[in-house]
């Protein structure tokens, strides 16, 4: 874990060197999280990897729940890469039965990427042009920074690199239990920014083996392994809920910094805990597709959307 400012910058430098970023990079903006300090056009996008809807519903994590009402949503895919590719194209999780924007991305999108085949129904919040929402925010002059924890965010892997290549600042955490390192990286790169920021964070602690720094249980005893006979649904549930509560406390200062901006948090997919014989994710089971969604648009963004007839 990085201990000094110098370490933090070295991590950032390694991240810079490890992927093909955009041609133009903006300078880092060192700072610390201050409540309400982020520019009102900024966007914070958090994915709680593998977080089940019922975990969120049971824990009611304080900082995340304060973002907005909890929506029982369907993820756009059953695994990390597919889901994030879809979300970065504007297809965030949603409830298709509700005829209202943002809760139902078919009806109105939080992020619309122009130039694709998806049609607009006229109630989109952030209208972007480019290869992805990250590229789109870059083109609008945003400072973009992201950090992923799941293996599908490992930008050393050529096959998955295009998912994150547009971030001006990017850090792969290296594993699913390094949230402190990820938050330090984001704090160092964006917290002092005065202009609009697009910040993305993929949280790994809610992913198997459901472990966080300082947790009282063993990290190498994973209770949810596909096809294993030694799995434990109750232990999986207990651990993911405990991890979510711990993650929420860590995220609170960053979420607070975006209190005047727009914030979205969701699961990228859930996990099956033995339902119908399924374990973990990567399969199209209802428990894998069901995820929590909370969001809040900044008041001026919501007013702009509501002015569209």
HSE-CB of 244 using CA atoms within 13 angstroms: 29
Q: Residue 197 or residue 289: which is nearer to Zn ion going by CB? A: 289
Q: Residue 248 or residue 268: which is nearer to Zn ion going by CB? A: 268
Q: Residue 49 or residue 155: which is nearer to Zn ion going by CB? A: 49
For residue 129, what are the β-bridge partners?
A: 114
CB of 123 to Zn ion, least distance (A): 28
Helical packing angle, 179-190 and 233-257, nearest 10°? 20
Stretch that binds Zn ion, among 88-96, 161-169, 227-235, 266-274 (CB under 5 A): 266-274
Inter-CA distances, 251 with 32, 254, 276, Å: 13, 6, 34
CB of 36 to Zn ion, least distance (A): 30
For residue 201, what are the β-bridge partners?
A: 46, 147
Q: Which residue is nearest to Zn ion (CB)?
A: 80
Question: 91 CB contacts (<8 Å, ≥6 apart)?
Answer: 76, 105, 109, 118
Q: Residue 268 or residue 280: which is nearer to Zn ion going by CB? A: 268
**Binding flag, residue 280, Zn ion (CB under 5 A):** no
The values of phi and psi at residue 128, to 5°, are -125, 155
**Binding flag, residue 49, Zn ion (CB under 5 A):** yes
Stretch that binds Zn ion, among 93-101, 145-153, 162-170, 231-239 (CB under 5 A): 145-153
Helical packing angle, 179-190 and 5-17, nearest 10°? 90
> What CA dihedral angle connects 22, 296, 247 and 92, to 10 degrees?
-60
Helix (H) or strand (E) holding 54: helix 53-59
CB of 240 to Zn ion, least distance (A): 13
**Binding flag, residue 268, Zn ion (CB under 5 A):** yes
Site residues (CB under 5 A) for Zn ion, limited to 9-28: none
CB of 15 to Zn ion, least distance (A): 20
Q: DSSP states of 221-256 as a string?
A: --S--TT-SS--HHHHHHHHHHHHHHHHHHHHHHHH
Stretch that binds Zn ion, among 11-19, 226-234, 268-276, 300-308 (CB under 5 A): 268-276
Stretch that binds Zn ion, among 116-124, 251-259, 260-268, 282-290 (CB under 5 A): 260-268
Report how far residue 71's alpha carbon sits from residue 252's, in angstroms, rounded to the nearest whole number: 20
CB of 81 to Zn ion, least distance (A): 8
**Binding flag, residue 147, Zn ion (CB under 5 A):** no
Stretch that binds Zn ion, among 56-64, 115-123, 226-234, 263-271 (CB under 5 A): 263-271
Binder among 55, 77, 80, 236 for Zn ion (CB under 5 A) = 80
Residues 133 and 126 sit within 8 Å (Cβ to Cβ): yes
Residues binding Zn ion: number (CB under 5 A): 4
CB of 190 to Zn ion, least distance (A): 23
CB of 207 to Zn ion, least distance (A): 6
CB of 144 to Zn ion, least distance (A): 21
Q: Annotate 2-37 with b (16+ C-beta within 10 A) or e (fewer).
A: beeeeebbebbeebbebbebbeeebebbebebeeeb
Q: Residue 125 or residue 149: which is nearer to Zn ion going by CB? A: 149
Site residues (CB under 5 A) for Zn ion, limited to 204-233: none
Residues 198 and 144 sit within 8 Å (Cβ to Cβ): yes
Residues in touch with Zn ion (CB under 5 A) = 49, 80, 150, 268
């Amino acid at each position: 874990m990085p201990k000094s400012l110098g370490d933090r910058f070295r991590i950032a430098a390694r991240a810079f060197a490890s992927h093909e970023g955009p041609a133009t990079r903006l300078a880092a903006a060192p700072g610390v999280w201050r409540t309400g300090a982020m520019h009102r056009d900024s966007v914070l996008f958090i994915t709680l990897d593998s977080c089940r809807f019922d975990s969120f519903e049971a824990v009611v994590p304080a900082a995340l729940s304060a973002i907005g009402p909890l929506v029982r949503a369907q993820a756009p895919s059953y695994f990390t890469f597919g889901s994030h590719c879809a979300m970065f194209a504007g297809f965030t999780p949603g409830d298709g039965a509700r005829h209202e924007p943002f809760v139902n991305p078919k009806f109105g999108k939080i992020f619309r990427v122009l130039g694709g085949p998806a049609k607009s129904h006229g109630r989109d919040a952030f209208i972007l042009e480019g290869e992805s929402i990250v590229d789109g925010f870059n083109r609008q002059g945003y400072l973009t920074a992201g950090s992923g924890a799941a293996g599908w965010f490992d930008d050393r892997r050529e096959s998955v690199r295009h998912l994150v290549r547009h971030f001006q600042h990017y850090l792969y955490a290296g594993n699913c239990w390094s949230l402190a390192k990820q938050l330090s990286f984001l704090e160092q790169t964006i917290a002092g920014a005065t202009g609009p920021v697009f910040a993305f964070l993929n949280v790994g602690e809610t992913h198997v083996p459901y472990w966080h720094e300082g947790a009282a249980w063993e990290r190498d005893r994973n209770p949810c392994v596909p096809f294993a006979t030694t799995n434990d649904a109750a232990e999986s549930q207990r651990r993911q809920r405990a991890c979510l509560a711990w993650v929420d406390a860590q995220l609170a200062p960053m979420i607070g910094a975006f209190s005047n901006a727009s914030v979205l948090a969701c699961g990228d997919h859930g996990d099956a805990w033995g339902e119908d014989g399924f374990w973990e994710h990567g399969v199209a089971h209802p428990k894998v597709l069901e995820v929590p969604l909370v969001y809040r648009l900044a008041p001026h963004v919501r007013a702009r959307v509501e002015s569209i007839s």
